[in-house]
Chain A
Amino acid sequence: MRKKRRKESWFKYSMSVLHLWLGLLSSVVIFIVCITGSIYTFKNKIIDFYNYDKVYVSAENKPFLALDSIQAIFKEKELNISHVNLPYQANKSIIVSYESFDSLKAGSYYVNPYSGKILGSGDYSLNNFFSIILSLHRSLLIKNIGRDIVGVSILIFAFMLLSGFVLWLPKKWKQLKNVLNVKWKAKFKKINNDIHVVFGFYFLIPLIFISITGLYVSYPWVKSGLIVAMGGNPVLTANADEDTTKELSDNFARLLAEMLEKENEKESMKGEPEISLDSILNLANKELNYKAITSISLPNSEEPRYVVKKINRENWLRALLPDVISFDKKGNLKSVDLFKNKPLHKQFVEISLPLHTGEIMGWPSLIFYFIATIIGWLLPVTGFIIWWKKNL
Chain B
Amino acid sequence: MKTIKNIAVLLLTLVVMTSYAQEKKKGRFSFDEIKAELNLTTEQTQKFDVVIAKYTKIREESFAGFRESGAKPNRSVMMKKMQGIQKLQNEEITAFLTSEQLPSYEAFAEKMAHFGKPGYSDKEIQKMTTELALDESQVKMLNAVNKAFEKSFSDAHDLYHGNAELAKEYRTKYDQERKNVLQKVFNEEQYTKYLEIVKELDSKRNMDRK
Contact = CB atoms under 8 A, between A and B. Distances in A.
B88 A103 contact: yes
A83 B23 contact: no
Nearest to A358: B70
Contacts of B65: 83, 85, 95-97, 108
Contacts of A353: 72, 158
Contacts of B20: 141
A15 interface: no
B173 interface: yes
B206 to A, nearest CB: 18
Nearest to A248: B173
Contacts of B26: 132, 135, 141
Given A97-B65, A141-B18, A220-B163, A106 B169 contact: no
Interface string A198-220: 00000000000000000001101
A320 B18 contact: no
Interface in B10-47: 11-12, 15, 18-20, 22-23, 25-26
B174 interface: yes
A25 B143 CA distance: 53
B58 to A, nearest CB: 5
Contacts of A322: 68, 71-72
Contacts of A329: none
Interface in A334-392: 349-354, 359-362, 384, 388, 391
Contacts of A83: 65-66, 77, 81
Contacts, number: 194
Contacts of A147: 162
Interface in A92-127: 95-97, 99, 103-109, 121-122, 124, 127
Contact of A311 (B5, B12, B71): B71
B57 A28 contact: no
A129 B62 CA distance: 18
A361 B69 CA distance: 10
Contacts of A311: 68-71
Interface of B is mostly: helix
B182 to A, nearest CB: 11
B18 A142 contact: yes
A265 B91 CA distance: 29
Contact of B58 (A107, A136, A249, A300): A107
A263 interface: yes
B173 A104 contact: no
A196 interface: no
A260 interface: yes
A369 to B, nearest CB: 12
A350 B181 CA distance: 29
B12 A28 contact: yes
A176 to B, nearest CB: 34
B192 interface: no
A351 B158 CA distance: 10
B17 to A, nearest CB: 11
Given A263-B140, A320-B71, A349-B158, A127 B60 contact: yes
B148 A220 contact: no
Contact of A104 (B69, B80, B88, B149): B88
A259 B148 CA distance: 6
A39 interface: no
Interface string A151-165: 000000000000000
A252 interface: yes
Contacts of A388: 5
Given A24-B4, A391-B1, 14 more contacts: A29-B15, A85-B65, A132-B26, A140-B19, A141-B19, A217-B162, A220-B166, A236-B159, A256-B144, A258-B148, A259-B147, A262-B147, A307-B74, A359-B70
When A and B form their complex, which 10 residue pairs have the shortest distance between CB atoms, in order from nearest?
Answer: A320-B70, A124-B60, A108-B61, A97-B65, A256-B148, A259-B144, A108-B65, A252-B177, A141-B19, A255-B148
Interface of A: 24, 27-29, 32, 44, 47, 82-83, 85, 95-97, 99, 103-109, 121-122, 124, 127, 132, 135-136, 138, 140-143, 146-147, 217-218, 220, 223, 235-238, 240, 245, 248-249, 251-253, 255-256, 258-260, 262-263, 293, 295, 297, 300, 302-303, 307, 309, 311, 320-322, 324, 349-354, 359-362, 384, 388, 391
Interface of B: 1, 4-5, 8, 11-12, 15, 18-20, 22-23, 25-26, 57-58, 60-72, 74, 77, 80-81, 84-85, 88, 91-92, 140-141, 143-145, 147-149, 151-152, 155-156, 158-163, 166, 169-170, 173-174, 177-178, 181
